[in-house]
Amino acid sequence: MQQVVLITGGTSGIGRGLAEAFLAEGASVAVCGRSEPALDRFSRDHPEALAVRADVTVPEDRAALLEAITARFGRLDILINNAGTFVERDFAADDATLALDEEIDLNLTAPIELTGEVLRRWPALEAIVFVTSGFALVSPTRAPTYGAVKAGLHGFADGLRRQLAPRGTHVLELLPPTTDTPMNAGKTGPMMSPAEVAAVTLKALRHRRPMALPGQTRLMPAMLRLAPRTLGRMVAKL
């Protein structure tokens, strides 16, 4: 039986890479996003997928999204909470709390709420994926609130994994490194492609690992234990 997969923020970047990887494996895929042009491009490229305009921070949009999945596929097997934003904030120089609620809602509150709503509708879900970041383990100097919300999502995934283990629902956390996405446009230095990040993620799902650690992030848990100051200096330069 084909898996049915929902990917929030699935029209570009890592989300689109994941959507295309699942489609290549024969899965039925639904994506959502806020940009009509991006949704249109995705639908033209992948007419077999379901593309829904939805802002995951809006309860009514989340409900309509799940209704659309029910109408099209009848069920959901894998939820991938990918939608997010990166905001630089300098508390030493600016009024750094501008639009803070929006950042927290999109990066932390919405994926938690959507996860709860999905589980109420489909209690026997096969897997839930949370896209966090290496910054969930060591917060970036230029964006401390981003590190805070990703650390919060990391903690939620950790506790949820234990809660859902008796049901057999796999909870995976993806910690991508710097990836070649629109968010990193103009950034120099080595970057992984979304397709490479997706390949590591699907492998981690198949092996039911707690974390997918593509590229440089695979070293972070060990460095956090063995050389936390060195890791902090490295992150400070990112």
**Where does the pLDDT of residue 138 fall: very low under 50, low under 70, confident under 90, or very high at 90 and above?**
confident
Q: Which of 122, 135, 146, 156 is catalytic?
A: 146
Residue 62, pLDDT > 90, answer: yes
Q: In whole angstroms, what separates CA 37 from the centre of its chain? A: 21
Average pLDDT score over the chain: 90
Ranking 73-82, 182-191, 198-207 by mean pLDDT, the lowest is: 182-191
* pLDDT > 70 in the chain, percent: 85
Q: H/E element holding 211?
A: strand 211-212
Mean pLDDT of the region 31-35? 96
Check: pTM over 0.85? Answer yes or no.
yes
Higher pLDDT, 139 or 224: 139
How many Cα neighbours within 13 Å face the side chain of 95? 2
Q: Report residue 67 as tokens.
A: 């209704």
Q: Verify whether residue 199 is a known catalytic residue.
A: no
Give all domains of the chain, ordered by start, each with its CATH number: 4-236 (3.40.50.720)
Q: Tell whether the model's pLDDT for residue 51 goes beyond 60.
A: yes
| pLDDT greater than 90 at residue 232 | no
Provide the residue count of the chain. Answer: 238
* Eight-state DSSP code of residue 74: S
Residue 165, pLDDT > 60, answer yes
d(CA 195, CA 236): 27
Q: Is the pLDDT of residue 23 over 90?
A: yes
